Amino acid sequence: MHLHYDLRGSGTPIVFIHGAAIDHDAMEQWFEPLFAGQMHTRLYIDLPGMGATPPLPPAQTDSDHVLAAIAETVTAVLGDQSFDVVGYSYGGYLALALAYQEPTRVQRLFLVCPTLTGIRGERHVAEHRIIQSAPIAVAAANADYFANYHKVTVVQNPQTWQAFQTQVIPGIRRTNLDALHQLHRDHGTHYRLSFEDQLKATNFAQPITLLSGRHDVTIGYTDHEAFMAHQVNGTFGLFANAGHNLPIDQYPMMAAYFTQFLRES
């Protein structure tokens, strides 16, 4: 299966993999402004059932098949070129899996709040914290999504609510919820990669930058700490005032790490 994608620029390739229930547009909004003067090919993909990519058949709706579709699409677009991978949340999980399966092609990884444990009940999640600097006016058009914002966002103010509305909500609206529920069926056993245990135990040769929010109620951060402790080429950033919406909670700090990541390419 070939995934829908947006291809930009020229130069050293970077593949961007978004999280569940959003699409490539969020990744473009977060990362494209940081490429001024940079020579990189940017491949932004839409995962199955999200954005403009249709769902996989129900029997194939699992992370192993999603990963295979990513690998097929990347090869179709980039040929045999090596590349870096940027992944957010579920996309970070898939990015690590791609590096595990193709260690000679994947050169470096930049991961933001990546999933490491597919089954939600086995994760060590953090307690939520809210820092609110100003009252937030919620327009009726997006009121149904405010609970999602409130649950996962740490820095809550009109600016981050506006960012959530422009960067996240459009992707949620374009997500096929039936396909998403199918991915999470059977308590996450299909979301979980079949080789997750080996993945988490791997000492990657590739440089890895991993950013985590101390108040991430979706993924947590302690599993990230344990994983990065045995990554000899790992850079770990734990952000005090951030949760799973780290790109919205602390965008300038994330941008600084990514800019350094680009400098080292």
pLDDT in tens, the chain (265 residues): 889 999 999 999 999 999 999 999 999 999 999 998 889 999 999 999 999 999 999 999 999 999 999 999 999 999 999 999 999 999 999 999 999 999 999 999 999 999 999 999 999 999 999 998 888 999 888 999 999 999 999 999 999 999 999 999 999 999 999 999 999 999 999 999 999 999 999 999 999 999 999 999 999 999 999 999 999 999 999 999 999 999 999 999 999 999 999 998 7
The tokens describing 93, both together, are 């999980």
Looking at residue 222, the DSSP 8-state letter turns out to be H
Select from 207, 238, 197 the least CA-distant residue to 97: 197
65: domain CATH number is: 3.40.50.1820
pLDDT at 68: 98
pLDDT at 134: 86
The helix or strand, by DSSP H or E, that contains position 208, with its residue range, turns out to be: strand 208-213
The tokens describing 109, both together, are 């990884």
State if pTM tops 0.95: yes
DSSP bridge partners of 84: 14
Q: Return the SS3 of 51.
A: coil
Burial of 165 (0-12, 13-18, 19+ CB in 10 A): middle
In this structure, which amino acid lies at residue 182? Q
The helix or strand, by DSSP H or E, that contains position 92, with its residue range, turns out to be: helix 90-101
Listing from the earlier edge strand, what are the strands of the sheet with 106-112? 5-8, 40-45, 12-17, 83-88, 106-112, 208-213, 234-239
The C-alpha atoms of residue 192 and residue 137 are separated, in whole angstroms, by 38
pLDDT at 10: 96
Half-sphere exposure of 9 (CA within 13 A, CB side): 20
Q: How many domains does the chain have?
A: 1
pLDDT at 139: 86
pLDDT at 141: 87
Domain range for residue 27?
A: 5-263
Q: Return the SS3 of 237.
A: strand
pLDDT at 89: 98
